[in-house]
Chain A
């Protein structure tokens, strides 16, 4: 019988964050095999889902001063008087229309990849699981350090 590690293709030298992401994906894939109707969306995480409409509605406009001599990094145009702009929670500013078009497609900041919440339950579950695994791994690493130092 193949060992647990062989079966999950665990390689010794794999980078921890890469391994965590891969294992999380594989777990979800197994869930999908078990119940395709319920977990159907998960295996399509190649593209991130759009940002939640309610999250987009929460975004605030920056002050006029913040726009002076600045450029929207989506359309690469300088802000003009009366241009409508929005501030992401990570403090990156874009034209309102530019940003909204982008967030209808992907949930992250075009500059720094800061993620807004989505309406995709499965994606949120997946993100949560990823986070849990990461913190578990960190805890183990901490425990190891405390034992051997």
Chain B
């Protein structure tokens, strides 16, 4: 991997470790192996959402051209959300595609994902089935999402 990508990830790593979000247990980044090309992210489900209480794992792949191109991020924990594939964990989020800017960091990506979990965008869906349910039957959606959180993300059972 080229120098700037590795060097930047190392610096960002420190940034996340020092950040107040880590202290609040809301986001976390870990290395996978020795290289800085593959990382593991963790996001706590935001409060007052069906994801509350769950811990969601992310696969983060850093391209050689980072930070000029965005990291490739995917949910490893299954999640029921209009903008995230319930099958593959693929994410539909503009900053991971055309809206990426070189000054963004792993921290901003994880915080954006947390914001996406709290405010879905059903008009730009990744998972059409989930998006349809979100729009047409919001109550059933909330129940399904919270059930998935309990089963797959270790959430607390709330009735």
Contact = CB atoms under 8 A, between A and B. Distances in A.
Instruction: Place the interface of chain B in its size category.
Output: 10 to 19
A17 interface: no
Given A110-B103, A111-B103, A74 B98 contact: no
Chief secondary structure at chain A's binding surface: loop
A120 interface: no
Nearest to B67: A74
B8 interface: yes
Contact of A74 (B12, B69, B103): B103
A14 B126 CA distance: 20
20 contacts: A47-B98, A73-B103, A74-B67, A75-B4, A75-B7, A75-B8, A76-B8, A76-B12, A76-B15, A76-B105, A98-B4, A98-B102, A101-B68, A102-B102, A108-B101, A109-B101, A110-B102, A110-B103, A110-B104, A111-B101
Interface of B: 4, 7-8, 11-12, 15, 67-69, 97-98, 101-105
Interface of A: 46-48, 73-77, 98, 101-102, 105-106, 108-111, 113
Top 9 nearest A-B pairs (CB, nearest first) are A110-B103, A110-B102, A73-B103, A110-B101, A76-B11, A74-B102, A102-B102, A111-B103, A46-B98
